[in-house]
Amino acid sequence: MVSGIFLITPNRQHNLLVAEHGVPPEQHRLRLPLDLGHPGWVAQHQCPLVLANTDEAPDFRQILKTSHMGSALFGPMVWRGQMLGQVLTAAQARNTYSPIDLDIFMGFAHVAAAVYLAHGGPEWLRTLV
């Protein structure tokens, strides 16, 4: 299993991977163009996304080097209409996640956004970029 948070950089050009788990060290603080892959789609549309089986998603792009994602959840972190980032989790097994999992997962995304803002996340993010 892989999980983490992509935060949108202050210049709104990239998704920056933070708080990751199961990601190889060389991909720590991975920076992706804001429009790349499914993280880019979620950033653009500000909508949650479940990929129950990535084999059935013809536009799926493998981003992490070490494991193939078979099923994934993307939960946008939105505050007052502004997309801050997204929480993601993925498993190698297909059909691990379903729409009901996404409903539950969105609770985590809302809490992540609140904690990020309550603890000065935007100021901290500026120190990384």
User: What is the Cα gyration radius of the chain?
Assistant: 14
- pLDDT for position 90: 93
Total count of domains within the chain: 1
pLDDT in tens, 91-128: 999 999 999 999 999 999 999 999 999 999 999 999 99
pLDDT above 70 coverage of the chain, percent: 97
- pLDDT for position 38: 93
Amino acid at residue number 61: R
Q: How far apart are CA 24 and CA 44, in angstroms?
A: 27
Task: Please check whether residue 128 is in contact with residue 29, taking contact to mean a CB–CB distance below 8 angstroms.
Answer: yes
pTM: 0.93
Who contacts 46 (Cβ-Cβ below 8 Å, separation ≥6)?
76, 78, 83
Task: Please check whether residue 1 is in contact with residue 91, taking contact to mean a CB–CB distance below 8 angstroms.
Answer: yes
Domain of 53, CATH number, reads: 3.30.450.40
pLDDT in tens, 26-76: 888 999 999 999 999 999 999 999 999 998 987 887 776 666 789 999 999
- Show the domain range for 41: 2-128
Q: How far apart are CA 1 and CA 23, in angstroms?
A: 9
Averaged pLDDT score across all residues of the chain? 93
